[in-house]
Structure 1
Amino acid sequence: MADSSSTTASTPASVCVFCGSSPGQDSVFLEAAADVGASIAAQGWRLVYGGGQRGCMGQVSSAALEAGGSVLGVMPRVMLAKARGHAVEDDPGRAAGGAAAGSNEGTGARTLQASEQDAHRLETIAVDSMHERKRIMADQSPLGFIGLPGGFGTFEEVFEMVTWTQLGIHRKPMVLLNINGFFSPLKALIDQAISSGFITESNRGLVTFVDADADWGKHVVEAVKRDHERLSSTQGYWDWNSATKTAP
């Protein structure tokens, strides 16, 4: 059963996964992505992701669907190659059921394997820009974010969502799955920024690193639950819901 403690009637219990549109050179990356996708579905949560069909992106979504879960992909129109026989929702404010889309984003073989029977659980929103893509992914993910290995795009998405939590735009956890030590240099960089006085010690907990050799999905789901409860009752630097007036 879904944990809907922080969801609304219009937004189901959902978590967003940021990850690479390429498979990486070690098969463990795809294995972990599949385990995470299946665990999200088993939890009763909807998966929100970038809509790609290749690499870790395709693998996490395919595993969620195979486990009976629901998936929402958000893709810029310029990246979309409409899958034959499927419609893509063109209204960024609303996703249509039964939508599926392909994309030329990433490298390697297509890892998203969605059957016709999965169509009603796979939705795609087409947007005009990368900024809109991230905004909708964040809005549609009340439970928070999971980061898997990826490249520049994944790094940028992870850092922006953490910055929004720091600023108080939202208060959502960022859980990074440190497969094969992939995110260890980032952990060291954050430590360096804290010791150098650029990140406060109190903000160290805005990012959680999960070090696990197996049961990756179980560990990240547990971390999302724990950190969501911890962060949702706190406030960032500013209250962005407060009305502001411009002086005449």
Structure 2
Amino acid sequence: MFRRSVCVYCGAREGALPVYAEEARTLGRLLAHEGWRLVYGAGDVGLMGLVAAAAEAEGGATLGVIPQHLVQVEALRGAGRHVITENMHERKKVMFMNSDAVAVLPGGAGSLDEFFEVLTWAQLGLHAKPILLVNIAGYWDPLLALVDHVVAQGFAAPSLRGLITPVGSAEEGVTALRAALSRERVASE
């Protein structure tokens, strides 16, 4: 059976606003309802744990990827399949290679690192996977403004902004992913 996988980058904390946790749970449920596998950081903490718990509660498949040094810190989440990597670089590679699309919920430095790496790879033509910023309560507005500033100052082509699909909620994100993944599937047939 052909199953799509969506890599979700997000915080290992829940953040300041309750809506972040609500949207993480919603995203997990919706991914499961679509029949898509969630690829995530494997931890049972923060938004990461919430999105995975919600997906698993709805019968969704999950693939958690965690580096050895974080196993004791973040505790492995749930019954889904897990991959333990040697380091963070390998973790990011395994997560990305096992995904058809990327969705970024609110998060901190790690989420920014993951986002910029996949954005850079797309800019270099190394992949064409959809990259969504789930901009809950305007969380990613400063990041989008920074990307626009980078373009305006001549350090990136205007096409950079087109590699990012900002959405306001988990539901909008799944709708955008459904459209992008169906276009990709048609193009490959």
Normalization by structure 2: what TM-score?
0.91
Max Rg structure: 1
Q: Secondary structure at the match of 1:80?
A: helix
CA RMSD of aligned residues (A): 1.9
Q: 1:228 to 1:166 in 2, by over 3 A?
A: farther
What letter matches 2:4 in structure 1? A
Alpha-carbon contact 1:30-1:56 (below 8 Å) kept: yes
Alpha-carbon contact 1:146-1:176 (below 8 Å) kept: yes
Q: Report deviation, 1:225.
A: 2.9
Alpha-carbon contact 1:34-1:63 (below 8 Å) kept: yes
Alpha-carbon contact 1:173-1:231 (below 8 Å) kept: no
Q: Secondary structure at the match of 2:16?
A: coil
Alpha-carbon contact 1:38-1:217 (below 8 Å) kept: no
2:172 to 193, 206, 219: 219
2:136 to 174, 179, 182: 179
Q: Report deviation, 1:230.
A: 6.0
Alpha-carbon contact 1:173-1:207 (below 8 Å) kept: yes
Name 1:99's counterpart in structure 2. Answer: none
Does the alignment pair 1:34 with 2:20?
A: no
Figure out how many residues of one structure are paired with residues of the other and give that number: 185
Does the alignment pair 1:189 with 2:142?
A: no
Alpha-carbon contact 1:36-1:217 (below 8 Å) kept: yes
Gaps of 5+ in 1: 5-11, 82-103, 234-248
Name 2:87's counterpart in structure 1. Answer: 129
Q: 1:165 to 1:60 in 2, by over 3 A?
A: same
Normalization by structure 1: what TM-score?
0.70
Alpha-carbon contact 2:134-2:170 (below 8 Å) kept: no
Q: Report deviation, 1:183.
A: 0.2
Alpha-carbon contact 2:9-2:111 (below 8 Å) kept: yes
Q: Secondary structure at the match of 1:145?
A: strand
Deviations 1:166-214 (CA, angstroms, capped at 9, x unpaired): 1122211110111111000011111111111112112321111112xxx
CA distance in 1, matches of 2:113, 2:57: 29
CA distance in 2, matches of 1:229, 1:199: 29
Q: Secondary structure at the match of 2:12?
A: coil
Does the alignment pair 1:139 with 2:139?
A: no
Q: Report deviation, 1:16.
A: 0.3
